[in-house]
Amino acid sequence: MRKILAVGGILLAIIGAYLLLWPVPIDPVSWQAPVDRGYIDPFAPNDRLQSASGIDLGDYEGPEDATLGQDGRVYATTRDGTIIRVQNRGVSEFVNVGGRPLGIEADHDGSLVVANAVTGLQRVSQDGSVSVLIDKFDQQALENVNNLGIGPDGVIYFSQSSSKFTARASGGPYGASLLDLLEHGGHGNVYAFDPASGAITRLITGLNYANGVAVSDDGSFLLVAETGHYRILKHWLTGNLQGTTEILIDNLPAFPDNIKSGLNGRFWIGFAAPRNQMVDRLSGHPFARKMIQRLPAAMRPKAVPFSHVIAINGDGEVLMNLHDHAARFPTLTGVLETRDSLYLTTLFGHRLPRMKKRDL
């Protein structure tokens, strides 16, 4: 009996030492998460996404973002680096750009601009040729490039989710996001890149997982999703407030992901998952968050399946609030709005959800 107790004591000591001392990649920063108000108006649950049906993508997985090409077809990024073309319910491969393409936008000349988490900003011409637009800033590799918007003057605004935790070293963008969100170290940035001159400027820094980016139709402001702070920021590009950043919507009930310009001045935002109560409670306890990272992966906080997107205007007013309580299409990253449909993009799965706007 004494021997069993002794062995048990040794095992407990080893486990305790591991939880207290084992090296981990994060160095958590203390912060105070806002009190989670939950899904109350204007975010109250409903079933307005119930009519969405998935377009079967076959072997292609994770259509994280999509855009409407000049040819009228939808182009979406996928996990293996392929840009796919979707017309009605038909799916075909357009080009493989390598790495992990996330954000995608059609440029004014008909080419596609891709935010690639591994290789930086890329351009894909209409004939499928791929070139790198920018992959460095201040002589440092631009990894974890996530989302982008293109202004009326052709300037490309894009986010770098984290300058510390890279997709390449973290098993992909999702793994990098979990590390960055748990650390909360302010490693996110937003840049402006002018393809005409080659100039790149860092507009915003110190963000906690910089994510979605969208430009207003008149080019006067930029909207940015700061995932780790559950908020949407507005950065002024022109006017008396030029160069300043304000909080447009604070204390969201979930993790905001992509932002995409829609029709009639709308901006669509996807929510990857609801907020995590444990992460919020431990926001002011960095050492406890470090211990969490030492737990087996299955025991760490992870995204809960949920389906939720919203549309807002430039003043932050919620115009549309769409849920599916069954979460048939979990981890929604955003929305591509066309004249007659909404395409719901997602980080996982082999389907691209679509719903007819007449069914809203």
Q: Tell me what percent of the residues of the chain surpass a pLDDT of 90.
A: 81
Mean pLDDT rounded to a whole number for the chain: 92
112 within domain boundaries: yes
Instruction: Give residue for tokens 């590799």.
Output: 141
pLDDT in tens, 77-134: 999 999 999 998 899 999 999 999 999 999 999 999 999 999 999 999 999 999 999 9
118 near 100, Cβ under 8 Å?
yes
35 within domain boundaries: no
pLDDT at 12: 45
Least confident of 6-10, 57-61, 286-290, 295-299: 6-10
Q: Tell me what percent of the residues of the chain surpass a pLDDT of 70.
A: 93
3 within domain boundaries: no
Mean pLDDT for the stretch of residues 308-312: 98
In terms of Cα–Cα distance, which of 326, 285, 291, 335 is closest to 307?
326
Confidence of residue 53 (pLDDT cuts 50, 70, 90): very high
31 within domain boundaries: no
164 within domain boundaries: yes
- State the CATH number of the domain containing residue 321: 2.120.10.30
Parallel, antiparallel or unpaired: strands 318-323 and 308-312: antiparallel
229 within domain boundaries: yes
Domain that holds residue 344: 40-359
pLDDT at 169: 80
Confidence of residue 14 (pLDDT cuts 50, 70, 90): very low
211 within domain boundaries: yes
pLDDT at 171: 85
For residue 113, the tally of other CB atoms under 10 A from its CB is 22
Q: What is the DSSP letter of 87?
A: E
Mean pLDDT for the stretch of residues 254-258: 98
Q: How far is CA 9 from the centre of its chain?
A: 45
User: Nearest 5°: CA angle at 121, between 80 and 147?
Assistant: 75
Confidence of residue 285 (pLDDT cuts 50, 70, 90): very high
For residue 282, pLDDT beyond 90: yes
For residue 157, pLDDT beyond 70: yes
pLDDT in tens, 197-251: 999 999 999 999 999 999 999 999 999 999 999 999 999 999 999 999 999 999 9
For residue 18, pLDDT beyond 70: no
Count CA atoms closer than 13 A to 200's CA, side-chain side. 16
Confidence of residue 147 (pLDDT cuts 50, 70, 90): very high
4 within domain boundaries: no
For residue 169, the tally of other CB atoms under 10 A from its CB is 12
Higher pLDDT, 217 or 15: 217
Confidence of residue 24 (pLDDT cuts 50, 70, 90): low
Confidence of residue 11 (pLDDT cuts 50, 70, 90): very low
In terms of Cα–Cα distance, which of 199, 193, 210 is closest to 120?
193
**C-alpha dihedral over 207, 213, 218, 219, to 10 degrees?**
50
134 near 156, Cβ under 8 Å?
no
Structure tokens at 260: 């995409």
For residue 21, pLDDT beyond 80: no
pLDDT in tens, 333-351: 999 999 999 999 999 999 9
Q: Considering its fold, how many domains does the chain have in total?
A: 1
Parallel, antiparallel or unpaired: strands 101-106 and 156-160: unpaired
